[in-house]
């Protein structure tokens, strides 16, 4: 038994992300020494039976049918927001004002205006020791964290090119259902905010540079889809019977954009980004490649335990070296399995909890902060503005 003080968590939402977060809250203290001991105190969802079933399955002690109850409860220290983007601002601001720490899924909000209000609330709360973080979980993939370490060690030199792709294919089927991710009023945007936001955050974080301007193109390939019924997840089929109603897709299916980065004292990199859920055969190809004056790095989540590194100081025919990121000295890895045994998608969420709880315990601002996530939100808005204006260059 640990003697650490409890950190009593109330989670809102319990679908895909709620399940990933629940796993992380349970697992983190079993593999890492944390200054506070997470407790899965309550989960909130509007449907009492479904929320109860989720609580039993995912390991939560109690259930609420209104998230406001979590915010009001004295036995909750942190609110974990795993709901669609249209609810993030209201829940996060109410929680912060009630003195609860907040973990909020990405993208932070559905608009820059909401993200600004959330950031203001976060900065005000931080002065009282109440912390907040946005869930860009890929930062916690060991190979990407190692990539950042290499950049900080100067092993790439000055970064010239940043190439980021996030390729999935779960919407390729025109009969995949019309879930909330395809409804702009709920999700804010489509591939752009759902997966492109991860690429933007990861690229800026690994390179240590911010995007200053973009030129973009957005496309919606399938304008209507069968209504989802009770379906909330990815893929599957809606109601395909006869004249069953179809819903209008109001978000982008794919986004591409070029970008200019701010390199500080050095010349900034130029970047290309692509986010789509129509790349047949690509399941979760979250890829990032950086080319610098001394070397290059390449990562693909479909081979997530590998970081490829090209070192220009070596003989050119040495080519890219594949680093199997499973050594104890690699980020996060030492707390898991013996050398060579690899990690998966869920570990990013576990590491996210580790970093969040450690920062809260030490009274530090966790990263990415709401301010960091607001900057990503500004890039998303600039991409949309450019695409709406014939791809004209748009400053962030």
Nearer to ligand SOE, 166 or 257 (CB): 166
* Nearest distance from C-beta of residue 17 to ligand SOE, angstroms: 7
For strands 285-292 and 246-248, give the pairing.
unpaired
Q: How far lies 364's CA from each of 133, 202, 357, 360, in Å?
A: 11, 21, 10, 6
Nearer to ligand SOE, 278 or 310 (CB): 278
Interaction between residue 15 and ligand SOE (CB under 6 A): no
**3-state DSSP helix/strand/coil % of the chain, to nearest 5:** 35, 25, 40
Distance CA 248, CA 270 (A): 35
Interaction between residue 172 and ligand SOE (CB under 6 A): no
Nearer to ligand SOE, 194 or 372 (CB): 194
* Nearest distance from C-beta of residue 37 to ligand SOE, angstroms: 27
Q: Which of residues 32-61 bind ligand SOE (CB under 6 A)?
A: none
Interaction between residue 71 and ligand SOE (CB under 6 A): no
Sheet holding 62-64, edge to edge: 62-64, 36-44, 5-12, 78-81, 101-105, 132-135
Nearer to ligand SOE, 82 or 371 (CB): 82
Cα angle at 13 between 64 and 168, to 5 degrees? 170
Nearer to ligand SOE, 73 or 186 (CB): 186
Q: Report which DSSP code applies to 258.
A: E
Q: Report which DSSP code applies to 228.
A: -
Nearer to ligand SOE, 235 or 263 (CB): 235
- Whether the Cβ atoms of residue 306 and residue 324 lie closer than 8 Å to each other: yes
For strands 270-276 and 285-292, give the pairing.
unpaired
Separation of CA 7 from chain center: 22
* Closest residue to ligand SOE, based on beta-carbon distance: 194
Interaction between residue 195 and ligand SOE (CB under 6 A): yes
* Nearest distance from C-beta of residue 69 to ligand SOE, angstroms: 26
* Nearest distance from C-beta of residue 194 to ligand SOE, angstroms: 5
> 56, 57, 55, 59: which is closest to 39 by C-alpha?
59
* Nearest distance from C-beta of residue 180 to ligand SOE, angstroms: 11
Distance CA 110, CA 112 (A): 7
Residues in Cβ contact with 240 at an 8 Å cutoff, skipping those fewer than 6 apart: 175, 226
Among 64, 77, 86, 194, binds ligand SOE (CB under 6 A): 194
Residues in Cβ contact with 375 at an 8 Å cutoff, skipping those fewer than 6 apart: 204, 210, 396
Q: Which of residues 238-297 bind ligand SOE (CB under 6 A)?
A: 284
Nearer to ligand SOE, 180 or 336 (CB): 180
* Nearest distance from C-beta of residue 31 to ligand SOE, angstroms: 21
Element (H, E) at 226: strand 224-226
Per-residue binding string, ligand SOE, 302-341, x by CB under 6 A, is ----------------------------------------
Interaction between residue 343 and ligand SOE (CB under 6 A): no
* Nearest distance from C-beta of residue 284 to ligand SOE, angstroms: 6
Among 41, 165, 168, 326, binds ligand SOE (CB under 6 A): 168
Interaction between residue 167 and ligand SOE (CB under 6 A): no
Convert 168-208 into a string of H (helix), E (strand) and C (coil).
Answer: CCCCCCCCCCECHHHCHHHHCCCHHHHHHHHHHHHHHHHHC
Per-residue binding string, ligand SOE, 209-248, x by CB under 6 A, is -------------------------x--------------
Element (H, E) at 123: helix 112-126
Residues that bind ligand SOE (CB under 6 A): 16, 168, 194-195, 234, 284
């Amino acid at each position: 038994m640990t003697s650490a003080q409890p950190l009593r968590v109330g989670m809102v939402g319990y679908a895909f992300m709620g399940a990933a977060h629940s796993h992380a809250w349970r697992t983190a203290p079993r593999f890492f020494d944390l200054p506070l001991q997470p407790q899965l105190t309550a989960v909130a969802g509007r449907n009492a039976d479904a929320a109860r079933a989720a609580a039993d399955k995912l390991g939560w002690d109690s259930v609420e049918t209104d998230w406001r109850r979590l915010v009001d409860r004295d036995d909750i220290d942190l609110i974990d927001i795993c709901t669609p983007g249209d609810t993030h601002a209201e829940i996060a601001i109410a929680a912060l004002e009630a003195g609860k720490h907040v973990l909020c899924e990405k993208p932070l909000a559905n608009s820059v205006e909401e993200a600004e209000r959330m950031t203001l609330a976060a900065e005000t709360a931080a002065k009282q020791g109440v912390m907040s973080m946005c869930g860009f979980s890929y930062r916690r993939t060991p190979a990407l964290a190692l990539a950042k370490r290499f950049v900080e060690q100067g092993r790439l030199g000055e970064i010239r090119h940043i190439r980021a792709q996030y390729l999935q294919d779960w919407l390729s089927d025109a009969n995949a259902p019309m879930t909330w991710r395809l409804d702009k009023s709920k999700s804010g945007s489509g591939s752009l905010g759902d997966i492109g936001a991860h690429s933007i955050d990861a690229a800026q974080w690994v390179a240590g540079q911010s995007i200053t301007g973009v030129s973009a193109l957005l496309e919606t390939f399938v304008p209507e889809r069968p209504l989802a019924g009770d379906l909330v997840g990815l893929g599957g089929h809606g109601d395909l019977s006869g004249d069953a109603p179809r819903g209008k897709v109001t978000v982008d299916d794919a986004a591409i954009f070029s970008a200019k980065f701010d390199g500080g004292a050095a010349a900034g990199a130029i970047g290309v980004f692509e986010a789509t859920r129509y790349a047949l055969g690509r399941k979760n190809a979250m890829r990032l490649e950086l080319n610098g004056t001394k070397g290059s790095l390449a990562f693909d989540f479909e081979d997530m335990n590998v970081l490829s590194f090209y070192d220009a100081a070596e003989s050119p025919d040495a080519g890219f070296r594949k680093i199997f990121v499973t050594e104890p000295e690699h980020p996060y890895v030492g707390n898991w399995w013996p050398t060579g045994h690899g990690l998966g998608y869920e570990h990013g969420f576990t590491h996210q909890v580790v970093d969040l709880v450690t920062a809260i315990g030490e009274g530090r601002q966790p990263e990415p902060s709401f301010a960091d996530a607001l900057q990503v939100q500004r890039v998303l808005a600039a991409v949309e503005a450019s695409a709406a204006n014939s791809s004209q260059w748009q400053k962030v």
